[in-house]
Amino acid sequence: MFISTSEHGVDAKNRVSVPANYRAVLRNDPHDAIYLFPHFSGAYLEGGGELFIQQYRADIARLGRYDPLGQIMEVAVLGAARRLDFDSTGRVTLPKALIEHAGISGKAAFVGCGSRFEIWNAEGQAAREVEMRQAAAKMMQDPEQVARLGGGQDLATLVGNSPALSDLLKRGDT
Amino acid sequence: MFISTSEHGVDAKNRVSVPANYRAVLRNDPHDAIYLFPHFSGAYLEGGGELFIQQYRADIARLGRYDPLGQIMEVAVLGAARRLDFDSTGRVTLPKALIEHAGISGKAAFVGCGSRFEIWNAEGQAAREVEMRQAAAKMMQDPEQVARLGGGQDLATLVGNSPALSDLLKRGDT
DNA sequence: TTGTTTCCCATAAAATCCCATGGTATCCCA
DNA sequence: TGGGATACCATGGGATTTTATGGGAAACAA
């Protein structure tokens, strides 16, 4: 699971270190690489490992070959995505197109979002984090929003009822 | 279950011993670690084991990728969360960002909250405990709040949460 | 050539591991 | 019920490893 936020310098060769704890998540992947694409709804990159990209692929495949939405997503996601291999010290080289989309210069911020992560330019992310945190605090005072969130009750029930799910969680690295 | 409150010193390397009874709760987790994040609605940290973080993840996932509330929670919780591994004597090293958020210096107070726990700076926690106790007393004078609490009548839920209790009931000597 | 990409090595800082120690709670047996 | 032995817990400090990052040499493309 990708969690935590950290900033890393982007050097003159456009190389950036992928956080070590992210690399640990990808340890069992076939390629020792990440997949990244410029996100269609904002100035940031979205990425992850093999599972991440295959989820998009599965979503698109389920729509069928002739579905317009599927065709859009094929181009917007798969068409724009890149596979970036790690060098021996855990860095990747960001293609110019991705750097420009996210407006990255000097420093890039990696934000863990569970099964995927985002890459923002550092200043933008710092501002966004403050904003999101305040929004979260506000949400908690609205009973309707709190109810939508649920409060973890589902999973507790699920795990209680299902040894299989419990084992899955224990196996880790999801 | 995480219960009881205890204070522990934070040394020059920002290491702190996790209470032994908390560690016992985590014994079956896949990673021998805790997850912690700076809480968005106060100067404290919230944490727990694998189940704790997966509950947040499940709540967020259930909302779907394009739900604004979900995006807020991704950044405010998963984006800010850290996994802290135990050293061989049961300590974790608190990242600087977390220490600053909670205003911890010298001593940290662990407060057990059942399926999760909180970490406060020691003085803040002492004040809060008194405050919460008074708030509880006040709640009990409001019939509506008392009704919401229920009064422990839901035995089925209790048993569902505790295999030990379930066994006890099956044995029949209650 | 010239610019770009890939691989490899070097280094400083930071995180982590390992061992030692004092104190406290627990156990056990007379 | 006392009192000693034992195990466990919290904490300190040094040694080792990992991480992030800079820069150079070799391979490749235009």
Q: Using CB atoms, pick whichever of A148, A154, A171 lies closest to residue B58.
A: A154
CA A164 to mean position of chain CA atoms: 26
B65 and B96 housed in the same domain: yes
pLDDT over threshold 90, residue A56: yes
In a domain? residue B35: yes
CA A86 to mean position of chain CA atoms: 17
B113 and B156 housed in the same domain: no
Tokens of B24: 């016992």
CB B84 within 8 A of CB B17: no
Output the pLDDT for position B105.
86
Looking at per-residue pLDDT, the higher value among A90 and A164 belongs to A90
Residues of B with CB under 8 A from a CB of A: 28-31, 35, 40-41, 50-51, 53-63, 69, 71-83, 115, 160-161
B169 and B113 housed in the same domain: no
B154 and B85 housed in the same domain: no
List all nucleotides in chain D with at least one atom under 7 A from a protein Cβ: 8-14, 18-24
Output the pLDDT for position A77.
95
Structural domain containing residue B166 = 140-174
In a domain? residue B131: no
The count of other CB atoms within 10 Å of the CB of residue A149 is 17
- String of b and e for A15-24 (b: at least 16 CB within 10 Å)? ebbbbebbbe
Q: Using CB atoms, pick whichever of A4, A157, A172 lies closest to residue B30.
A: A172
Tokens of A12: 């003159």
Looking at per-residue pLDDT, the higher value among B65 and B89 belongs to B89
CB of A20 lies under 7 Å from some atom of strand D: yes
pLDDT over threshold 70, residue B78: yes
User: Would the CB atoms of A155 and B54 count as touching at under 8 Å?
Assistant: yes
A85 and A22 housed in the same domain: yes
A24 and A61 housed in the same domain: yes
Q: How confident is the model at residue A162 (pLDDT cuts 50, 70, 90)?
A: low
B154 and B114 housed in the same domain: no
Output the pLDDT for position B167.
75
pLDDT over threshold 70, residue A81: yes
Output the pLDDT for position B150.
84
pLDDT over threshold 70, residue B173: no
In a domain? residue B129: no
Three-class DSSP labels, chain A: CECCEEEEECCCCCEEECCHHHHHHHHHCCCCEEEEEECCCCCCEEEECHHHHHHHHHHHHHHCCCCHHHHHHHHHHHCCCEEEECCCCCEEECCHHHHHHHCCECEEEEEECECCEEEEEHHHHHHHHHHHHHHHHHHCCCHHHHHHHCCCHHHHHHHHHCHHHHHHHHHCCC
Output the pLDDT for position B162.
75
Q: Is B108 helix (H, G, I), strand (E, B) or coil?
A: strand
DSSP B129: H
CB pairs under 8 A between A and B: 106
A100 and A83 housed in the same domain: yes
Q: How confident is the model at residue A156 (pLDDT cuts 50, 70, 90)?
A: low
User: Would the CB atoms of B115 and A169 count as touching at under 8 Å?
Assistant: no
Determine the residue type at A15: R
CB of A32 lies under 7 Å from some atom of strand C: no
Q: How far is it, in rounded angstroms, from Cα A159 to Cα A114?
A: 19
pLDDT digits (tens, 9 = 90+) for B115-169: 999 999 998 898 899 999 999 999 999 999 999 888 777 777 777 777 777 777 7
Output the pLDDT for position B157.
78
pLDDT over threshold 70, residue A42: yes
Q: What mean pLDDT is predicted for residues A57-62? A: 95
Q: Which of A17-26, A53-62, B26-35 has the lowest mean pLDDT?
A: B26-35
A105 and A154 housed in the same domain: no
In a domain? residue B133: no
Q: What is the phi/psi pair of residue B113, to 5°?
A: -130, 40
Q: What mean pLDDT is predicted for residues B32-47? A: 96
B145 and B93 housed in the same domain: no
Average pLDDT score over chain A: 90
Average pLDDT score over chain B: 90
* Longest alpha-carbon distance in chain A: 53
B109 and B173 housed in the same domain: no
Tokens of A169: 């969680």
Q: How far is it, in rounded angstroms, from Cα B104 to Cα B10?
A: 8
In terms of CA atoms, which chain A residue is nearest residue B163? A160
In a domain? residue B132: no
Q: Which of A30-34, B79-83, B87-91, B168-172 has the lowest mean pLDDT?
A: B168-172
Output the pLDDT for position B174.
47
In a domain? residue B134: no
pLDDT over threshold 90, residue A157: no
Tokens of B135: 């708030």
How many domains, chain A?
2
Output the pLDDT for position A34.
96
pLDDT over threshold 70, residue B49: yes
The CATH number assigned to the domain holding B56 equals 3.40.1550.20
Q: How far is it, in rounded angstroms, from Cα B11 to Cα A2?
A: 28
Q: Which of A36-40, A100-104, B170-174 has the lowest mean pLDDT?
A: B170-174
B79 and B47 housed in the same domain: yes
